[in-house]
Amino acid sequence: MNSIIFRTASHIVSGLMLLFSVDLFFRGHNEPGGGFIGALVAVIAFGLLMLSESPDYVRRQLKQTPLFMSLIGVVCLLVAAILPLFFGQPLLTGLWWKEILPLGTPLLFDLGVYLAVIGGVLSILLKVEEELS
């Protein structure tokens, strides 16, 4: 697309959207949001960049292939799932360290969802755009 306004604005807007996506992800446990919604916002942000620049531009900015990202996500999910087994708990039990920061395996699990969904949906989006245009 040739509109200079769109091209300039898309960088600002997608940057803001990515920030918002991270915010959605982190606050998800207590407020509306979460890994899946955050991931969709991120994908739309990248989609915007893809339309204003090119799929290749998005790939370069990402450094990793989207499928690799989703693979990392699945690894996070599996680690979060299996970790409790080492503490004598059933699979997928939430483990928490509340002393310093409210961290726990559910956060890792949600991170897995976040990365896997971004990677999965984005890879389809980029591929379709590349092959069809």
> Crossing angle, helix 105-132 and helix 4-27, to 10 degrees?
160
**Among positions 5, 30, 100, 101, the unique one binding other proteins when judged by CB under 8 A:** 30
**Among positions 20, 26, 36, 68, the unique one binding other proteins when judged by CB under 8 A:** 36
Q: Which helix (DSSP H) or strand (DSSP E) does residue 130 occupy?
A: helix 105-132
Q: What is the DSSP letter of 90?
A: P
Binding-residue total with other proteins (CB under 8 A):
51
**Among positions 49, 58, 59, 125, the unique one binding other proteins when judged by CB under 8 A:** 125
Using left for φ > 0, alpha for ψ between -120 and 50, and beta otherwise, residue 114 falls in: alpha
Q: Which ranges of the chain would DSSP assign to H, the alpha helix?
A: 4-27, 35-52, 55-62, 66-86, 105-132
Taking residues 57 to 76 in sequence order and writing x for each that binds other proteins by CB under 8 A, - otherwise, the string is ---------xx--xx-xx--
Residues that bind other proteins (CB under 8 A): 28-37, 40-41, 43-44, 47, 51, 66-67, 70-71, 73-74, 77, 80-81, 91-92, 94, 96, 98, 102, 104, 106, 109-110, 112-113, 116-117, 119-121, 123-125, 127-129, 131-133
